[in-house]
Amino acid sequence: MLTPPIKAIPIKSTFTRFVLSSINAKHTGPKRLPGYLALACAAILAGCHTAPNQSPGAELSFAERCQALPAAGAPGLQRAEFQANQTVQHRFAPQEVLPPHCEAFGTLEPRTGIDDQEYAIGYHLRLPEHWNGKFFFEGGGGTNGNIGTATGTTGATNPSALAQGYAVVSQDSGHSNDLNNNPQASGTASFGHDPIARRNYGHASLKKVSDAAVAAITRFYGQSPRYSYFMGCSKGGQEGMAFAQRYPEVFDGIVASAPGMSLPRAALSQLRDVQQFAQLAMTPGDTSLDPEKLAKVFSAEQITTLQTTVIKTCDGLDGLEDGIISNFSACTNARVIPQLRQQVCSDAARCLTSQQVSALEQSLAGPVNKKGEPIYAAWPWDTGVGSPGWQMWKLGNEQMPALNVMLGGTATPAIFSVPPVAVAATPQAAAAYALAFDVADGEAIINATSDTFTTSAWQDISARSANLDGFMARGGKLIVPHGVSDPVFSINDTLAWLQEVTARYGQQTNSTVRVFPVPGMAHCFGGPSTNQYDAFTAITQWVEQNQTPDEIIATAGPDTPWPERSRPLCPHPQMAVYNGNGSIEDASNFNCK
């Protein structure tokens, strides 16, 4: 449901003069606008004395205002077009018919990189005809490289931010998967061979795009947004953390799901995983890893044995045997490994081998350096270990190689290393790089600098600082949902970060940050879990109504063992505890304790 129209706010003459100067200063065409056209554009914008969801003048329609936006000096905007009844397929949600809006595309800072590739920061902006006065920044994913939908996915079952009346922007983080794609140098990750493109990917493009979007919104509607929000998962989660830490003045509320805050270190862990499970896929005499064999190192029956053992060992630790391990912190190696060892037997169709148990133990333990110190966090044992989403990253499947091979084996040499290394973007080449990599010495590579790369990959791309001084000072709010069975970014890393923030700020932490573990959930979605939840409404109510999210109600999807089951997601260190009465399928019978 859309927010009612906002009352008109008169535009001061200084704003009109600012727009007029901006038109001449920032017009992207080959020549400055003729004086009469500049005056006309300024007059159009000055006509925005009416409510922002109404036409700014009787003589101009919303569609005409949309088409005139690039000429009005919006930073980097190249084209804009009115859209009605446009359908978009969302990344984590069903397709949606979008409301009438102005769709615009822009580029910032076009340049030639040191690798002779052409770069620019591309962004995608949608401005609804019925604006609610708010701004939404849509996070990216993976290595980015595409400008995104700019619709603002707010959850699998929720209307998009655009449908809710938000002005929405998305961006490619400074490189294009179409233009910057060298198959001999990690393919779409080849932008990592350019230091500026690498820094834009890590964080630098974020503020530039946000500033450009807000400038365009202000010029289009005649007023700046009342509230601004960011929402993303994975790399998008890392972007949300980067905003809170590096650019705290931009957003009132941030939802940073499954944040890749330690991306370079997590990439080292990916390579170590490949090495551990490769031992199960390679036979004596093999000199290389066939990625297709990696997907077959566990049979379906062995995966069932693994999951059943974990559930029997840890399900009751939260006081209820329901297939959900709420007390996941207590599900440790000391509990699980002895039970898995008991599943080693001669029945190859059902039992685990001792080598499989060892590979699982080493994988979940996380990588260490040559001093035996952790490089990255360990993973908890959980019901989603072995789920399809978990296998997609760790092992792969019949349709695709393991993402740990394809992303870890291409992103690490191109994006996280100084100097960058050219590795062909094939499963075989990525697997060979992963097997040969010395993970124990990997920290030196991600922390290295050079005359060309004056900042390290860790400095450019990590977003793990406990310093939230600026974000707290502006009253910002941050919600961090994270799947306990996430196979690529460990929830233990997120919880360790939360502990560091709490050590810095004490009880003040609770008024700014809430981390919500999602038991059973894999990376961003999936797994035997209640993974359908509305963190976006929670963040807006926290920001605008000061309603602290003490729980977020979540529902299990149709592909889980218990469709429609509901549970409260609880802010760590609390967990959902059954009160002893009523159906265990109903969240109302659980409390966060």
Per-residue pLDDT tens for 523-561?
999 999 999 999 999 999 999 999 999 999 999 999 999
Band of the pLDDT at 173, cuts 50, 70, 90? very high
Closest CA to 136 of 18, 287, 254: 254
Residue that the structure tokens 């993974």 belong to: 531
- Rounded average pLDDT over 454-481: 98
d(CA 225, CA 543): 14
d(CA 274, CA 434): 7
pLDDT score of 137: 98
| Average confidence score pLDDT of the chain | 90
What share of the chain in percent tops pLDDT 70? 90
**pLDDT at residue 420 greater than cutoff 90:** yes
d(CA 291, CA 314): 32
d(CA 550, CA 450): 47
Tokens linked to 255: 């939802």
Band of the pLDDT at 92, cuts 50, 70, 90? low
Q: Where are the domains of the chain?
A: 13-225, 264-460, 469-592
pLDDT score of 25: 35
- Rounded average pLDDT over 88-115: 89
pLDDT score of 91: 65
- Vertex 388: Cα angle to 573 and 592 (nearest 5): 20
Q: What is the DSSP string of 7-20?
A: PP-PPPHHHHHHHH
CB of 122 closer than 8 Å to CB of 106: yes
pLDDT digit string (tens) for 101-111? 999 999 999 99
- Find residue 128's DSSP bridge partners: 101
**pLDDT at residue 48 greater than cutoff 60:** no
**pLDDT at residue 1 greater than cutoff 70:** no
CB of 528 closer than 8 Å to CB of 584: no
- Rounded average pLDDT over 442-453: 98
pLDDT score of 268: 98
N- to C-terminal Cα separation, the chain: 34
d(CA 439, CA 374): 11
Q: Identity (one letter) of the amino acid at 468?
A: L
pLDDT digit string (tens) for 197-237? 999 999 999 999 999 999 999 999 999 999 999 999 999 99
pLDDT score of 6: 29
Band of the pLDDT at 17, cuts 50, 70, 90? very low
pLDDT digit string (tens) for 340-361? 999 999 888 889 999 999 999 9
**pLDDT at residue 514 greater than cutoff 90:** yes
CB of 492 closer than 8 Å to CB of 455: no
d(CA 356, CA 297): 8
- Find residue 568's DSSP bridge partners: 553
Residues acting as catalytic residues: 234, 486, 523
Q: By three-state DSSP, how is residue 119 classified?
A: strand
pLDDT score of 198: 98
- Rounded average pLDDT over 432-454: 97
